[in-house]
Amino acid sequence: MPVVPLKEILDRALADRYGVAAFNVVNDLSIEAVLAAAVEERAPVILQTSVKTVRQYGRKQLHDIVTALTAGVDVPVTLHLDHCPDRAVISGCLAGGWNSVLFDAHELDVAENLRQTTEVVAEARRTGAHVEGEIEGIQGVEDDLGSDEASTIQSLEVAVDFIKNTGVDCFAPAIGNAHGQYRQAPTLNAQRVSDLVAATGVPMALHGGTGLSDEQFTDLIARGCAKVNISTALKESFMQAGLAFLKEAEERKKWDPPSLFRHQRAAVMEMARRHIRLFGGSGRAW
């Protein structure tokens, strides 16, 4: 296929009430492992890149890597820029081939956020791309962005007005979710997802997915969270698999990088498969 618009992927998922896993990839190995899991499960998938990863690789080199690795993939894939408050990075990624962006302007007042998000939507449309928006910060720091302080929750009316007037294709509501691992089981305002979808018909994005229970995932997806972000779980799978392998390598005094890479790939693939199945994405490729 392989690259298709975000809106096409999410509109299908919302209509049939399944979730599309959106994995925050960190390098070529993690990209390839996620894609392999999606192909194995016959599932659409979203590759997410943080601003930190874009800057680490350089925009063109990162896009070239994604292009090369998706070339032989026959399931729907979208390349998405996750939380980005920097308009210059947004513009660069849109011009550089990203299919969608999350313009994270929650630190601005709602009126200014609305004004600038409307501009980003217009800019994205010129390249055939789509936009995820938000007006409340998701608690927790991820890839050097965010805050551990809880954000002020806006009223349903304010959120609906933002969605309708900006024309965003997806919206990330704050419902008690948080980035990173939860210190205790979160209490979520799941009804807010139902209310927003009913009022707008726009798919919701669930952030802070790592650590939620299977029941919470299933309920939120049924309510309209068509995009489900997984970042911490990928990083933990990747790094913990590497740590375990390196400890054994040290004991054995045997240093074989390709074996390390295979070990990490297997761990990321298994993590991705598990989430794709849980979200109902298996067999949904077209």
Q: Where are the alpha helices (DSSP H) in 201-256?
A: 214-223, 232-252
* Backbone region of residue 143 per phi and psi (left: phi > 0; alpha: psi in -120 to 50; beta: other values): left
Quickly list H helices, 81-167: 87-95, 110-126, 156-166
Helix axes 214-223, 190-200, angle to 10 degrees: 20
Residue 161 is among the residues annotated as catalytic for this protein? no
Bridge partner list, 24: 48
Phi, psi of 106, rounded to the nearest 5 degrees: -65, -20
Residue 181 three-state SS: coil
* Residue 65: half-sphere exposure toward Cβ, Cα within 13 Å: 19
SS3 of the chain: helix, strand, coil, percent, to 5: 50, 15, 30
Active-site option among 64, 82, 109, 214: 82
- What sign does the dihedral 260-261-262-268 (CA atoms) show? positive
Region for residue 248 given its phi and psi (left: phi exceeds 0; alpha: psi -120 to 50; beta: otherwise):
alpha
CA distance 53 to 160: 32
Decide: helix, strand or coil at residue 188.
coil
Structure tokens at 181: 């691992």
d(CA 80, CA 98): 6
DSSP secondary structure code for residue 53 in this structure: H
**Which residue numbers are catalytic?**
82
